Amino acid sequence: MSDLQEEGRHAINSPMSPASTDVHPEDTLLEENEERTMIDPTSKDDPKFKELVKVLIDWINDVLVEERIIVKQLEEDLYDGQVLQKLLEKLAGCKLNVAEVTQSEIGQKQKLQTVLEAVHGLLRPHGWALQWTVDSIHRKNLVAILHLLVSLAMHFRAPIRLPEHVSVQVVVARKREGLLHSSHVTEELTTTTEMMMGRFERDAFDTLFDHAPDKLSVVKKSLITFVNKHLNKLNLEVTELETQFADGVYLVLLMGLLEDYFVPLHNFYLTPDSFDQKVHNVAFAFELMLDGGLKTPKARPEDVVNLDLKSTLRVLYNLFTKYKHLE
């Protein structure tokens, strides 16, 4: 046993793998032709990676607060399928036909199989790459678990801010002819917002931008007329949708006007001077929209702040369809 573990450590730390990697002994005990992946410890120390993990944990705990479930460590709390079952049922509003508690490995994998089949049924129609398996989740493969959670968060339009361009160095250990071989690969966990969002459902604005750009000016003119009809009450006027709504101030004020209430100034930044303050404003406006009965916006706060016109139009059009009756 010790010889095999030493062989594994030597393989991982050989010249093929320039970075020193702390490998758990069980990760070196592979069958012939078996492959196992591990995140390089240096990647785990990356601030963006830590932020991604924290955001996902907080999101899960928010979704499952009524279930009195508290997730502290993704790989330890999600591997047996119990939390994933509850999370999917809550997000999708469904009930899965699985045993509530399973202690055996076979029972846990059966539950995972059922849960992941339900997930795949949701994601496959949208062309999402499924970068996880029952075995990888059950083996507590954090990369696979993160891929799964990021996909779920994007599919269900989770009201969270996922850090962009998060990647990790992954050590891939393989056993060939009785010897362990290792290599390092870069695994991308999140990409740009447009790429991540574009993998899912298309809507009228995708069609508008792709096939009827000539009609775009008509839509913009209608929305400008709509927002100015209300913002003019505060002696404010909009001429450029993507730029003047990018800091979130007009969005917050517009929501107050549409719902006929005063928004306390301490709840948002009236003169934001940083990206984070602008994101805060837009996110706060989204919260006001949800409180007003609107659906979760098909955009992230960062999209609006980054002057993404399509995202801004989606947000404003949602307001237009709900409040166009107001005089």
Q: What is the mean pLDDT of residues 202-227?
A: 76
What confidence score (pLDDT) does residue 30 get?
66
Same domain, yes or no: 145 and 213: no
Q: What is the mean pLDDT of residues 111-118?
A: 92
Q: Domain of 259: which CATH number?
A: 1.10.418.10
Same domain, yes or no: 153 and 56: yes
Same domain, yes or no: 223 and 303: yes
Evaluate whether residue 7 is within a structural domain. no
Same domain, yes or no: 225 and 319: yes
199-212 core/surface letters (b: 16 or more CB in 10 A; e: else): bbeeeebeebeeee
Same domain, yes or no: 220 and 153: no
Q: Count the alpha carbons within 13 Å of 126 in the hemisphere toward its beta carbon.
A: 21
pTM over 0.85: no
Residue 173 structure tokens: 């250990």
Same domain, yes or no: 50 and 125: yes
Which of the listed residues 139, 162, 185 is the one where a domain comes to its end? Answer: 162
Same domain, yes or no: 88 and 148: yes
- 129 Cβ contact partners less than 8 Å away, ≥ 6 residues apart: none
**pLDDT reading at 23 higher than 70:** no
Domain extent for 245: 204-324
Question: How many domains does the chain divide into?
Answer: 2
Evaluate whether residue 224 is within a structural domain. yes
Same domain, yes or no: 45 and 100: yes
Evaluate whether residue 195 is within a structural domain. no
Burial class (CB in 10 A: 0-12, 13-18, 19+), 46: middle
Separation CA 276–CA 274 (nearest Å): 5
Q: Which of 57, 23, 38, 48 is nearest to 143 (CA)?
A: 38
Q: Count the alpha carbons within 13 Å of 12 in the hemisphere toward its beta carbon.
A: 26
For 215-245, the pLDDT digits (tens) are: 788 888 889 999 999 999 999 999 998 899 9
Evaluate whether residue 17 is within a structural domain. no
Same domain, yes or no: 149 and 51: yes
Amino acid identity at 80 = D
Evaluate whether residue 302 is within a structural domain. yes
DSSP state of 124: G
Same domain, yes or no: 119 and 223: no
**pLDDT reading at 4 higher than 50:** no
